[in-house]
């Protein structure tokens, strides 16, 4: 009998379960290494060479170099680990979270000040909320990239 995973149909969301954790083990442990100031310096001095010290997949390395957090998460990354990359880059948690929506920093910040993203339409895949796949990217940052 397969495991019950009722969270697979939540839009715009990847639950970091045992399967994701297994896929992302080396990616997340690489992130963990950035907790040490000396490692942050070494990473910044040569990102590719530093990544090559880890038994990560080529795609995981590319996702890190691109700073594409959604891509990292799809490959087993977890946001609390990935946040160490953001900290190394001097980014706040809000900047990191916003970067996954396609909004500019200002757009995302204003959404939060306005009370945040509504759960309406965003509970189950197939509804029409702003986190649904057919409505990505959501903001100007993402649209700019698309052009």
Give SS3 for 69. Answer: helix
As measured in angstroms, the least distance from the Cβ of 68 to another protein is 12
Site for another protein in 62-91 (CB under 8 A): 69-70, 73, 78-81, 83-84, 86-88
- Give, to the nearest 10 degrees, the angle between helix 79-88 and helix 37-45: 70
- Does position 6 interact with another protein (CB under 8 A)? The reply is yes
Give the whole-angstrom CA distance, residue 25 versus residue 9. 24
As measured in angstroms, the least distance from the Cβ of 142 to another protein is 9
Give SS3 for 113. Answer: helix
Torsion of CA 54, 56, 57, 59, to 10 degrees: -100
Summarize as ranges the residues that interact with another protein (CB under 8 A): 6-7, 10-18, 21, 25, 28-29, 31-32, 34-35, 37, 40, 69-70, 73, 78-81, 83-84, 86-88, 92-94, 96-98, 100-102, 108, 111-113, 115-119, 122-124, 131, 133, 136-138
């Amino acid at each position: 009998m397969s495991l019950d995973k009722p969270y697979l149909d939540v839009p715009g969301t990847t639950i970091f379960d045992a399967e994701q954790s297994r896929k992302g083990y080396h990616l997340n442990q690489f992130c963990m290494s950035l907790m040490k100031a000396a490692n942050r310096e070494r990473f910044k001095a040569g990102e590719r060479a530093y990544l090559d010290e880890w038994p990560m997949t080529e795609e995981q390395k590319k996702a890190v170099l691109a700073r594409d957090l959604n891509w990292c998460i799809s490959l087993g990354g977890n946001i609390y680990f990935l946040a160490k990359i953001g900290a190394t880059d001097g980014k706040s948690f809000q900047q990191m979270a916003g970067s996954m929506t396609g909004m500019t920093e200002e757009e995302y910040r204003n959404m939060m000040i306005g009370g945040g993203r509504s759960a309406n339409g965003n509970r189950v895949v197939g509804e029409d909320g702003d986190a649904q796949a057919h409505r990505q990217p959501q903001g100007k940052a993402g649209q700019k990239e698309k052009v």
